[in-house]
Chain A
Amino acid sequence: MISLSHVTFAYEQNHAPVPVIRNLSFRFRPNRIYCLFGPSGVGKTTILHLLSRYYTPSRGTIRFDKQPVIGYVLQNDTLLPWKTVSENVQFVIDHKDIINKTDIVKDNLTLLNLKEKAHIFPRQLSGGERQKVNIARALAVNPNLLLLDEPFSHLDEASSMIIRNDTLRMARTKRMTVIYVTHNPLEAIYMADEVLVPQGSPITALKTIPIRQTRKNIVHLYDLRFRAEKIIRLLIQRPE
């Protein structure tokens, strides 16, 4: 369980505080996938930065039931261009007192079908593959809290679909709490157990949106579209 209790946070801009979050309280339950959904610039990334402890709240507290091991996939590609794929993954665990670091790297790359790319540099990868390496690196620390900040926003639909499914599979297998930021409603509904919408500006609450019915409706819509496409294809092939 992660509890945000009366958290307030403000950026410093031109020596003046710009409040982003004010008196926010919320509880994230373990082993669930949460999606923070909302327009750009509302403060979703700030929430992730606070949870990752990159930012410290100006006021209030963030409590973790057990010591969090955090994996974080940032919005921008953060692979070090001068390191190979495997070195990039190993970089985050190199300082840790664990054995078999090489095996951990290998396992995570294998999970995301990147084993063959282990010894090449990020510039030689496609955008989708790079993002997979970012995810593999976040998973290498064996996190119990995985933070994902719009990880698929730069990818084409086919690639992001594959990585979404890989991430979901991984989250379920490794029993992680996943907090995921997106402004794509379909993605939010597809990925999340709970969709959270930040309320107010600065954010004062996170509203939970019921998504079970919505997901059913969307599946139905997709089914209809699929049938319609089939009919159209038949019509096109129909000889005059």
Chain B
Amino acid sequence: MKRSLPNLAFFISFLVGMGVWHIIAVITPHHLIPSPIRVLPEMGSMALSFRFIQDAGATCVRIATGVAASFVISFALSLLTIPYPLLSRLYYPFIILGQTIPAVVATFIAIIIFGTSEWTPFLVVLTALIPQMIITYSHGIQAVEQKYLMLGTIYHIPRRSVWIHIYIPRLIPFVVTSIRNGLSVACKIVILVESFILSNGIGYEIRYQFEMFSLTHILAWSGLLGLILIITDTLLSAASHYFLTKYNAYD
């Protein structure tokens, strides 16, 4: 009974959302907003189409490669600050710069430099995520308890082992959290870039439907994107819960 309660709450919230949407669609003049009765079947037929697989696949690959590359680069850069703490001061101006530049500006710059190639979304995602991830991992490194590091000194454990057995496991909850946040940021950026310049992906489809003035299809594509994100986030949330329980100190 207790287990089914969150599922019931989710279902009720879904039904309430659909109800509110339907009411808005009915009362809006000239039926400008399509009701869920029209959008949901459209979503269903799209989800089964080859076009959806192609576009969603392209968007997911762009998001995944951007997040993965950002993770690898920022994790390596952050780990380097352990033996060379001065590096964190060196990164600082770039982190601030990366955090303050709006994604849209980075997109324009990347479009001018790389045109309509696949490098554009990739590099915009890197620009947005690397500073965020470095900050997260730096906090993780600072959070490694001195008492664990003492073991390394007292028992003459090689530095490599200390990294592998203390630093990296302790950083795993931070990695999972940063990837979870990174995916949502990367998704917004990739959709934005696709809608500007690319010729496939969910962002492209949304822009195309906008040019066709088809709000039903815009909502259907957005709904499918939301569905993909909900599934991904559910999986990551489970992973996050597992790693937070396992890798965080118990006391």
B151 to chain A, nearest CB (A): 6
Is B45 an interface position by the 8 A CB rule? no
Contact A81 B151, beta carbon cutoff 8 Å? no
Contact A54 B150, beta carbon cutoff 8 Å? yes
- Contacts A94-B161, A95-B161 given; indicate if A77 touches B251 (C-beta within 8 A): yes
Cα-based distance from A76 to B249 in the complex (angstroms)? 12
Q: How large is the interface on B (under 10, 10 to 19, 20 to 34, 35 or more residues)?
A: 20 to 34
Task: List the B side residues contacting A53 at CB < 8 Å.
Answer: 153-154
Is B94 an interface position by the 8 A CB rule? no
Q: How large is the interface on A (under 10, 10 to 19, 20 to 34, 35 or more residues)?
A: 20 to 34
- Contacts A54-B150, A80-B166, A80-B169 given; indicate if A91 touches B247 (C-beta within 8 A): no
Contact B148 A78, beta carbon cutoff 8 Å? yes
Is B246 an interface position by the 8 A CB rule? yes
Is B250 an interface position by the 8 A CB rule? yes
Interface string of B200-234 (1 = CB under 8 A from A): 00000000000000000000000000000000000
Contact A78 B151, beta carbon cutoff 8 Å? yes
- Contacts A70-B154, A83-B165 given; indicate if A76 touches B147 (C-beta within 8 A): yes
Task: List the B side residues contacting A92 at CB < 8 Å.
Answer: 151, 155, 157
B25 to chain A, nearest CB (A): 51
A123 to chain B, nearest CB (A): 4
Contact A74 B150, beta carbon cutoff 8 Å? yes
B104 to chain A, nearest CB (A): 41
Interface string of A87-102 (1 = CB under 8 A from B): 0000110110000000
Cα-based distance from A199 to B222 in the complex (angstroms)? 74
Which partner residue on chain B sits nearest A91 by CB separation?
B165
A232 to chain B, nearest CB (A): 39
Task: List the A side residues contacting B151 at CB < 8 Å.
Answer: 78, 91-92
Is B184 an interface position by the 8 A CB rule? no
Task: List the A side residues contacting B166 at CB < 8 Å.
Answer: 80
Is A141 an interface position by the 8 A CB rule? yes
Interface string of B166-182 (1 = CB under 8 A from A): 10011010000000000
A121 to chain B, nearest CB (A): 8
Task: List the B side residues contacting A122 at CB < 8 Å.
Answer: 250
Task: List the B side residues contacting A72 at CB < 8 Å.
Answer: 154
Cross-interface CB contact of A95 among B157, B246, B251, cutoff 8 Å? B157
Is A52 an interface position by the 8 A CB rule? yes
Is B29 an interface position by the 8 A CB rule? no
Is B158 an interface position by the 8 A CB rule? yes
A212 to chain B, nearest CB (A): 33
Cα-based distance from A72 to B155 in the complex (angstroms)? 9
Task: List the A side residues contacting B117 at CB < 8 Å.
Answer: none
Contact A54 B154, beta carbon cutoff 8 Å? yes
Contact B153 A81, beta carbon cutoff 8 Å? no
By a beta-carbon cutoff of 8 Å, the part of chain B in contact with chain A is 147-148, 150-151, 153-158, 161, 165-166, 169-170, 172, 246-251
27 A-B residue contacts at CB 8 Å? A52-B154, A54-B150, A54-B154, A70-B154, A70-B155, A74-B150, A77-B251, A78-B147, A78-B150, A78-B151, A80-B148, A80-B165, A80-B166, A81-B246, A81-B250, A82-B170, A82-B172, A82-B246, A83-B165, A91-B151, A91-B157, A92-B155, A95-B161, A121-B246, A122-B250, A123-B250, A141-B155
